[in-house]
Each structure stands twice: as C-alpha cells, then as structure tokens.
Amino acid sequence: MTTVLFVVFGGSALASALLAVTRKNPVASAIWLVGMFFGLAGVYVVLEAYFVAAVQVLVYAGAIMVLFLFVIMLLDLRSKQLDLEASPRMPILGVCAAVLFVVVSGMALMDAHDAGIFPDAAERATLVLDGSPEAIGADLFGRWLLAFEVTSLLLLGGILGAVILTKRRLT
C-alpha cells in the first residue's frame, strides 16, 4: 500500500514537473509547479513526515507560488514575449546547470555516506521514523544548528539583495 502510494505521488510529482517546464503559458507552468509541490507533499506523508508535508504546502504552494502568480499576472507575460527573450544559449546553460547540480549534490551525498550519516541495512530495520514537530525542532536546533544558521544567513542575504535591487536610491 505504502509503495503504491509512493509511486502514485512521486509519479505525479515528476509528471507535473515535466509539464511545468514544457508549458508555453507561464500561468499554466506555475499551476503545474503547484501540482508538483502537492505530489511532493504526498511523498512526505507516505514517509510519515507530516510536518514537512504540511510546511511544504504551506510555504511553497501557499505563499511562494502565489507570489509567482502575482508577478506573472501583474506583468501580464504572454508566451510570445517569453520566446523573444529566450536566447538560443538557454538550453546549453540549462544542461550545464543540471550537470553541475547532479555533480555537487552527488558529491555531498557521497561525503555524507562516507561520514556514516546514512544508516546501513541493519540499522534501517530498527530505525524509528519520527516526523513530529518536536523531533524536527530538536534536530534542527541541536545537531544541525550550524547548518540552520548558515541557511538563515543565506536567506537574509537574499532579502537584502532583493531590497537593494528594487530600491532605486538608498538614502
């Protein structure tokens, strides 16, 4: 049952993601991306990570994508305009970015594996999955505190950058 649900949700997430990058209409793309987030949330629920699932929908589908839609609608983007602006180098850049992503994340995962973060088969059998808010909070502010703070600094940098880019003059 769990495997079936995992395949259903994961498959729908993959299909939605594909549709999101192939649609011509930016609004349709955005909506398929929302569908992707729901599929991903479903996968999290199957993995008993209810907190992550709820936050996934709350933050990405409920807030970030609404902002995306807001901007798309405000600028009234049409597919024609997007075609004009898309440079022929875009696919090449996209492939480069994808390769870079796979290499970097693969190396990170291998490092993590060598460091013994992943449980082996014997450990996995006895592993208790705890996706409760308490467990996540304790992990986030205990074991992973440094990573958490670095991430928040990164986000702060993003916010400052957005403010500086959009402010015409700083007084």
Name the minimum Å distance from CB 71 to another protein: 9
Quote helix, strand, coil % in the chain, to nearest 5.
80, 0, 20
Name the minimum Å distance from CB 107 to another protein: 34
In the bound state with another protein, the residue whose beta carbon lies nearer, of 17 and 47, is 47
Name the minimum Å distance from CB 48 to another protein: 6
In the bound state with another protein, the residue whose beta carbon lies nearer, of 70 and 118, is 70
Give the chain's count of helices (H) and strands (E): 9, 0
Rounded CA-CA distance 13/33 in Å is 9
19: nearest Cα among 34, 4, 41: 34
In the bound state with another protein, the residue whose beta carbon lies nearer, of 75 and 112, is 75
Which residues are at the interface with another protein (CB under 8 A)?
1-2, 5, 27, 31, 34, 45-46, 48, 50-51, 54-55, 57-58, 61-63, 66-67, 69-70, 73-74, 132-133
In the bound state with another protein, the residue whose beta carbon lies nearer, of 17 and 69, is 69
List all residues 6 or more positions away from 28 whose beta carbon is below 8 Å from its beta carbon: 19
Q: Tokens 């090449």 correspond to what residue?
A: 92
Name the minimum Å distance from CB 91 to another protein: 28
